[in-house]
Amino acid sequence: MAVNWFKYASPQTFYPLAGRLVPLFWLLAIVLGAIGLYIGFFVAPTDFQQGESYRIIFIHVPAAWMSMVIYVVMAAWAGLGLVLNTRLSSMMATALAPTGALMTFLALWTGALWGKPTWGTWWAWDARMTSELILLFLYIGFMALQAAIDDPRRADKAGAILALVGVVNVPIIYFSVKWWNTLHQGASVSLTRAPSMANAMLLGMLIMALAFWAYSIGAALLRVRSVILERERHAGWVRELPPG
Amino acid sequence: MQWESVGQFFAMGGYGRFVWGSYAVTAAVILIEVATLVRRHRTLRRRAGRSTATDSNGSSP
């Protein structure tokens, strides 16, 4: 099948494509979210150590994963825009940042609410939590920097450099529980060994993670549509768009 | 299923305020983001047809 993917590298052709994809991804997010929550609350058993407080992980872990994944994808788009000078790549980076920041906030918030009953504290300056907080500041810094520069092309370049330098923080977050003796526990799920949790718990968490993926993609695609309209507002095709 | 009543479900074994505090804020954040995104796009789309080339930002040659 010969699909010309480069066709969609132009904002003009990507704008309607994104418009068709947003409802699909959000529908997927709702369906997966409903299944994941059902498993999380009605199928997964009570944890023998933590009681019911562990049910926070069904949103904590997906939010924390997304906070890191979105950052890497954002930096990759920003870097691509920097190297190839492609407008749409930079717009994708701009569109991902706020959703990434929200995921980071949710990871920290749900982590605090889980930590209080489990560890007896809302917050500790351990490596995992501190590096996740730095991730939030990186997202905020990226958005503030882009907002402070009037020329969008220069804003893209400056943002890309910040995003690329900040990538070093992502492996620090991920491996912090191995590298340092952190209050935060080690990974419950990894690619190299069997997960240390009940099957239903794991299944619920993975389905919720997929729901968060679908939601985030939909949110980024809808935001990039707005970014395209803002930046291309003087282009002929935008002015000829039918109302809707 | 481990819940014998609705009350037990909401109590979450005594961890209700932590569990529901997490889920409520997550739901609120998502709903606010969706509402903001939809409203922003709708406003920009409405303006799109009416824009004029009064400033040089982002104009195509």
Q: Inspect the interface and report whether the beta carbons of B45 and A152 lie closer than 8 Å.
A: no
CB atoms within 10 A of CB A88: 21
Quote the pTM value.
0.91
What local confidence, expressed as pLDDT, does residue B6 receive?
92
Q: Confirm whether A7 is domain-assigned.
A: no
Count interface pairs A-B at CB distance under 8 A. 108
Nearby residues of A20 by Cβ (< 8 Å), 6 or more positions away:
none
Q: Which two tokens stand for residue A95?
A: 């569109």
Domain that holds residue A179: 31-44+55-187+194-233
Q: Confirm whether A244 is domain-assigned.
A: no
Q: Confirm whether A183 is domain-assigned.
A: yes
Mean pLDDT of B9-14: 91
Tell whether ipTM is more than 0.95.
no
In chain B, what residues touch A55 (CB-CB under 8 Å)?
Answer: 12, 19
End-to-end CA distance of chain A: 32
What local confidence, expressed as pLDDT, does residue A157 receive?
96
**Domain map of chain B by residue range?**
6-48
Q: Confirm whether A210 is domain-assigned.
A: yes
Q: Confirm whether A20 is domain-assigned.
A: no
Residue A129 pLDDT exceeds 50:
yes
* CB contact B61 to A (< 8 Å): no
Per-position b or e across A143-176, b if 16+ CB within 10 A of its CB: beebeeeeebeebbbbbbebbeebbebbebbbeb
Sequence-distant contacts of B8-15: CB under 8 A, at least 24 apart: B9/A41, B12/A52, B12/A53, B12/A55, B13/A46, B13/A51, B13/A52, B13/A53, B14/A51, B14/A52, B15/A51, B15/A52, B15/A53, B15/A117
To which residue do tokens 């003009």 refer? A12
Distance CA A174, CA A141 (A): 21
Among A55, A108, A122, A150, the residue to mutate for chain B (most B Cβ within 10 A): A55
Name residues 118-177 of chain A within 8 A of B (Cβ).
150-152
Residue of B nearest to A106 (CA): B26
Tally of domains within chain A = 1
Mean pLDDT of B22-36: 98
Look up residue A185 and give its amino acid: Q
In chain A, what residues touch B2 (CB-CB under 8 Å)?
Answer: 45-46
* CB contact A52 to B (< 8 Å): yes
Each residue of A55-112: pLDDT tens digit? 999 999 999 999 999 999 999 999 999 999 899 999 999 999 999 999 999 999 999 9
To which residue do tokens 């992502």 refer? A170
* CB contact A20 to B (< 8 Å): no
What local confidence, expressed as pLDDT, does residue A188 receive?
74
Distance CA A113, CA A80 (A): 38
Q: Inspect the interface and report whether the beta carbons of A226 and B44 lie closer than 8 Å.
A: yes
Tell me the pLDDT of chain A averaged across its residues.
Answer: 92
